């Protein structure tokens, strides 16, 4: 298996050694000056845990209930495009590793492997976590529903609609490296046909008119009503947006700034999470990603109102370094750290955590 990682950060150097510089720039980089990308992790580190002692933890566990399903633990893998860029096992390795660790796995619509093929690999594994499909708006409700129907036919259990990237961020590191995402590695789940034609514009439009194909709240509401799968909205930072998603009937909200890859200097997710939770009340499921690298980060996220957390870059770096075995090892490391932190904080299960366990410096 090569060098042994003892924490998620160790996979970064292992992955960088084996990837072409332009692919590493795509994986490791963010938008602009990468301020948000770095601030995500720093924000979790500035939070301090306040443990409780002498509590009875005899029956303590890590299980949660989310979207009608029991999860072994509240840790999942976030969607990342084109895993074949990073390792020959591609999404197959990621899905198998997630199943082996009982972790939720969200599979990008811009992946290298068809959803149906990935579902078939693990759907009969009784210990696996949920399999969700990630989607971008496809320019129209009809095309987006076609993609969701495709996910349903592949036996995905929910669809995660990414709503914070109507256009790409300005990713300087990628541009300097000359990276272009190969179409052949990211179209396994593509909807046939082309986007609707652009309308005529009275004035020169933003971003070449691409925003004419971006979704609105009304369109997303129609998707939620017509979707055969529960719809999770990913990319929420503003409390009012979260409240609107809740009121439209989304199955869950996902607090995310796209890992710092779209709008640089956007609010770190650790800061946005408490405000979003306050806006939607205690019962609506909330997920979070962005800079989570330690089991203590998982505890902090749950204490601030998340029901589950997701990792993106660390999982793919582990895949790049060591294939499926690396991803499974990364998940196991984070699970073990989470269990240790949960026990040392005196919490008997994830749902018991609340803001009393966390202090901001």
HEC letters along 181-196: CCHHHCCCCCCCCCCC
pLDDT at 1: 44
Is 159 annotated in a binding site? The answer is no
Tens-digit pLDDT profile for residues 23-52: 999 999 999 999 999 999 999 999 999 999
Is 123 annotated in a binding site? The answer is no
Overall average pLDDT of the 75-93 stretch: 98
Contact 359, 66 (CB under 8 A): no
Is 136 annotated in a binding site? The answer is yes
Using pLDDT thresholds of 50, 70 and 90, give the confidence band for residue 75. very high
Using pLDDT thresholds of 50, 70 and 90, give the confidence band for residue 2. low
Using pLDDT thresholds of 50, 70 and 90, give the confidence band for residue 200. confident
Which carries the bigger pLDDT value, residue 197 or residue 240?
Answer: 240
The residues, ordered by sequence, that sit 6+ positions from 231 with a Cβ below 8 Å of its Cβ are: 148, 158, 159, 161, 220, 223, 224, 250, 251
Is 6 annotated in a binding site? The answer is no
Is 312 annotated in a binding site? The answer is yes
Is pTM beyond 0.75? Reply is yes
The helix (run of H) or strand (run of E) holding residue 231 is strand 231-236
Backbone φ and ψ for 205, nearest 5 degrees, come out as -85, 160
Residue 9 has pLDDT above 90, yes or no: yes
Is 26 annotated in a binding site? The answer is yes
Q: What are the tokens at 225?
A: 């009503």
Nearest residue to 251 (alpha-carbon basis) of 159, 164, 162: 159
Is 112 annotated in a binding site? The answer is no
Min mean pLDDT across 110-119, 192-201, 298-307, 342-351 is at 192-201
How much is the mean pLDDT over the chain? 96
CA dist 339 and 296 (Å) reads 9
Overall average pLDDT of the 199-223 stretch: 82
Is 163 annotated in a binding site? The answer is no
Domains of the chain with bracketed CATH: 10-179+212-351 (3.20.20.70)
DSSP string, 286-300: EEE-SS--SHHHHHH
Tens-digit pLDDT profile for residues 323-346: 999 999 999 999 999 999 999 999
Overall average pLDDT of the 59-86 stretch: 98
Task: Point out the residues that are catalytic.
Answer: 258
Is 227 annotated in a binding site? The answer is no
Q: What are the tokens at 80?
A: 């990342």
- Residue-level length of the chain: 361
Overall average pLDDT of the 309-333 stretch: 98
Tens-digit pLDDT profile for residues 47-58: 999 999 999 999
Quick one: DSSP state of residue 37? H
């Amino acid at each position: 298996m090569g060098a042994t990682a003892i924490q998620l950060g160790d996979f970064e150097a292992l992955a960088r050694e084996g990837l072409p510089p332009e692919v590493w720039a795509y994986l490791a980089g963010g938008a602009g000056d990468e301020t948000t990308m770095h601030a995500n992790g720093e924000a979790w580190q500035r939070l301090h845990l306040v443990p409780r002692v002498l509590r009875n933890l005899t029956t303590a566990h890590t299980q949660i209930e989310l979207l009608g399903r029991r999860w072994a633990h509240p840790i999942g893998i976030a969607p990342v495009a084109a895993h074949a860029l990073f390792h020959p096992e591609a999404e197959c390795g990621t899905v198998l590793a997630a199943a082996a660790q009982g972790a939720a796995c969200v599979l990008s619509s811009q992946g290298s492997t068809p959803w149906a093929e990935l579902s078939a690999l693990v759907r009969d594994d009784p210990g696996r976590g949920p399999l969700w499909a990630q989607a971008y708006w496809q320019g129209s409700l009809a095309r987006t529903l076609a993609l969701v129907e495709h996910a349903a036919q592949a036996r995905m259990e929910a669809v995660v609609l990414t709503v914070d990237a109507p256009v790409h961020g300005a990713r300087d590191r990628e541009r300097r490296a000359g990276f272009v995402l190969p179409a052949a590695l990211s179209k396994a789940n593509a909807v046939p046909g082309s986007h609707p034609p652009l309308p005529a514009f009275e004035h020169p439009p933003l971003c070449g008119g691409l925003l004419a194909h971006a979704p609105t709240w009304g369109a997303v509401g129609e998707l939620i009503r017509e979707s055969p799968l529960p719809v999770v909205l990913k990319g929420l930072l503003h409390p009012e947006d979260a409240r609107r998603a809740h009121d439209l009937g989304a199955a869950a909200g996902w607090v995310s700034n796209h890992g710092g890859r779209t709008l640089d200097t956007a609010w770190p997710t650790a800061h946005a999470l408490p405000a979003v939770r306050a806006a939607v009340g205690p019962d609506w499921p909330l997920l979070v990603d962005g800079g989570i690298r330690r089991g203590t980060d998982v505890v902090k996220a749950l204490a601030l109102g998340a029901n589950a957390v997701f990792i993106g870059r660390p999982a793919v770096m582990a895949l790049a370094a060591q294939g499926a075995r690396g991803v499974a090892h990364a998940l196991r490391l984070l699970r073990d750290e989470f269990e240790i932190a949960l026990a040392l904080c005196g919490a008997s299960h994830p749902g018991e955590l609340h803001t009393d366990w966390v202090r901001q410096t």
